[in-house]
Amino acid sequence: MRAGRRRRFAGLWRRVWPGGTFGRAQGNAEWFHRQSPAVTAPLQRHRWNAHTITFLALFLGFGVQPAVSQGTPGAGVEPGEGLRVYVMTMGPGEFIWERFGHNAIRVRDEARGTDIAYNYGMFSFEQEDFVLRFIRGNMDYWMEGFDTGLTANAYISTGRAVWMQELNLTPAERLELQQFLEWNSLPENRFYRYDYYLDNCSTRVRDAIDRVLGGQIREQTAELPSGQTFRDHTRMLTADDPLVYAGLMAGLGEPVDREISVWEEMFLPMQVREHFQSLTIAGPGGERVPLVLAEETIYRGDSPIDESLPPARIPFYLAAGVVIGGLLWVSGASVRRQKAARVAFTVVGTAWAVIAGTLGVVLLGLWLFTDHVTSYRNENLFFLSPLLVPLIGLIPAAAGRGIRARPLAFQLSVAVAAISLLGLVLKLLPALDQWNGEMIALALPINLGLVLGLWRIRTERDDVVDRAFGGLLTVVDDRG
């Protein structure tokens, strides 16, 4: 893998070097090596990382010597003329919080000799009440500026792609954006209430740029349909992780199934990059000019990025549901005669009650007691019912010697199955349009298999009683 990275960097170096100047590259490299050990030591723990940063120092243009102070521009120099503004986009990563990619606003100030990437995606597991805030959906993220080279290396070292888009802003707009970002990064201004889809690190980047453009981005994209939903994008980016995929599809409710606009679609960094490529803004003379002046690929990443919508997995989920439901039905019919059947019914039935019942309680709690708006009105509650929770104890009792537990277990399973069938029928109504076919395909057959299995256990008990007392009843009838 590292050898492949070196080859890609070597190829990129050959493409970039002819367009640069030796003197500038030499000065940038010297800038990097003049930094204090506190900056370079962590990078030199791995030889490849140090080489990467040296390359980035050359490519990104660090070490620019101060020319004119922005506060006191020289004759004929417009304030903001020495600024360059970029959108820095990072591809998806391995961890769940990296799956949607990331971005930042890079401001390169030739007058100050600084190059800062403003990152709106900062959070810490060590925040006070982190777990409780996460569960309740009121997490606070913050924005902070970091050295662009170190930021780029942090992503490249984990194999994530990095792109730079220079924005076609006027000097006044660049200066206004820099001033806003500096104000926003102050301790008293940096925190914001995070929302997965509506207010995240990417929407903040979009909004900051749109702010200095007087709303031109929103004007062009707010009413433009994207042809996708929030759920569609979530499916695309989690399709290769079955557990994460299933959990998110179960937990997301009806609010994420409406078609979103291009403006809303830019909750994803990759969509900001893509849509910015086609947007235009008013130029100095009123003419329309491209928003993106130029784009460079810093690193292509270790893995290709697949943004195609994965096929629905309904056949797989249906097959799993039918197999599990059928096992519950068949094993329930032999619980009193075969120990293996009793064990199978108890283990499978209890496991389903634990998983589905717990999920049902969680889904109901997310709707009623948290700020996770995207989990509201979740139609999966028809199929992952909290009524399964009491069956966690009743199923082993019903399959064993708990004769008194069988009627209650059967009645609860009937209620669960009836609610599931009701949910299926209500899908015919236009008001219930949540995309949850996969969950229906999995859960409905299992809930039906559970009620049939408990019914067989209950009726088998009656057959045993009839056989035990059948002869006596016959004698009584004859004597009568």
Q: Where are the domains of the chain?
A: 1-63, 73-299, 314-479
Residue 132 pLDDT > 90: no
CA distances from 228 to 122, 263, 308, 397, 429 (A): 28, 12, 11, 48, 22
| Residue 399 identity | A
Per-residue pLDDT of 196-216, as tens digits, reads 999 999 999 999 999 999 999
- Residue closest to 299 by CA, chosen among 451, 132, 110, 157: 157
Confidence of residue 312 (pLDDT cuts 50, 70, 90): confident
64 token code pair: 């620019």
Instruction: Say what the pLDDT of residue 75 is.
Output: 54
- Residue closest to 87 by CA, chosen among 179, 181, 158, 227: 181
Which helix (H) or strand (E) covers residue 458, if one does? helix 437-479
Q: For the CA atoms of the chain, what is the radius of gyration?
A: 31
Within 223-374, strands assigned E span 225-229, 259-261, 280-282, 288-290, 292-299
CA distances from 320 to 45, 326, 436, 443, 444 (A): 48, 10, 16, 9, 11
- Residue closest to 305 by CA, chosen among 103, 121, 161: 161
Report, as an integer, the average pLDDT of 295-318.
85
The answer to whether the beta carbons of residues 176 and 107 sit under 8 Å apart is: no
Confidence of residue 9 (pLDDT cuts 50, 70, 90): very low
The answer to whether the beta carbons of residues 353 and 413 sit under 8 Å apart is: no
Instruction: Say what the pLDDT of residue 27 is.
Output: 32
Confidence of residue 52 (pLDDT cuts 50, 70, 90): very low
Single pTM value for the model: 0.79
Q: What does 282-313 look like in DSSP terms, one character per residue?
A: E-TTS-EEESEEEEEEEE--SS----SPPPP-
Would you give the DSSP letter of residue 400?
T
Instruction: Say what the pLDDT of residue 31 is.
Output: 31
CATH 3.40.50: does it fit domain 73-299?
A: no
Please, what is the average pLDDT of the chain? 83
